[in-house]
């Protein structure tokens, strides 16, 4: 399968993508745990059906030492016992922040409150920006049918 287009080779789109990617690098420098960032990226990508991002974030998390068990259970995190309460709060926020069209109220106050119990303002900000960024990238990849399967860890990080 070939992608419909490569936005990185288009001068203006490529320039915009470089700015977006530099924002992701800035998020990696926050105190929000990198494992949480990868789990959230994976869950958002699963919900949206972005194969390229699922490929990337599964491999990046595994390369960083994440267990196969936890990666396999992200899709069913509510029933899984392998996630911390903080990770569960982040995954719940990620789901509600991704499924905004499914719920007229957006992110519920109690979901936000649970996340705020575990993360400080800097981490919450990083989490919200990360969720939003992943949703944008998922849409770019889905619209252009970016293929999955050949991602090598470290390519984008």
CATH assignment at residue 128: 1.20.1290.10
Closest CA to 23 of 140, 137, 139, 143: 137
List, in sequence order, the alpha helices (H) in 9-108.
11-28, 34-48, 51-63, 68-73, 85-98
- 42 assigned to some structural domain: yes
- 148 assigned to some structural domain: no
pLDDT at 15 over 70: yes
Residue 5 has what pLDDT? 80
Residue 157 has what pLDDT? 60
Domain containing 129: what range? 33-143
- 112 assigned to some structural domain: yes
Is 46 within 8 Å of 54 (Cβ atoms)?
A: yes
Q: How far is CA 134 from the centre of its chain?
A: 5
- 52 assigned to some structural domain: yes
How high does pLDDT run on average in the chain?
A: 90
Give backbone dihedrals phi and psi of 66, rounded to 5 degrees, phi first.
-65, 140
Number of compact structural domains in the chain: 1
Residue 93 has what pLDDT? 97
């Amino acid at each position: 399968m070939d992608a419909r287009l490569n936005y990185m080779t288009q001068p203006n789109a490529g320039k915009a993508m470089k700015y977006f990617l530099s924002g992701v690098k800035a998020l990696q420098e926050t105190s929000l745990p990198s494992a949480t960032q990868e789990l959230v990226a994976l869950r958002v990508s699963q919900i949206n059906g972005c194969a390229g991002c699922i490929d990337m974030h599964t491999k990046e998390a595994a390369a960083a030492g994440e267990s196969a068990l936890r990666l396999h259970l992200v899709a069913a995190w509510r029933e899984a016992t392998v996630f911390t309460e903080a990770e569960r709060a982040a995954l719940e926020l990620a789901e509600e922040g991704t499924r905004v069209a499914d719920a007229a109220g957006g992110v519920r106050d109690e979901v936000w409150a649970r996340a705020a119990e575990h993360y400080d303002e800097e981490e919450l900000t990083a989490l919200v920006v990360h969720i939003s960024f992943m949703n944008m990238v998922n849409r770019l990849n889905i619209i252009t049918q970016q293929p999955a399967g050949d991602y090598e860890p470290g390519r984008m990080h």
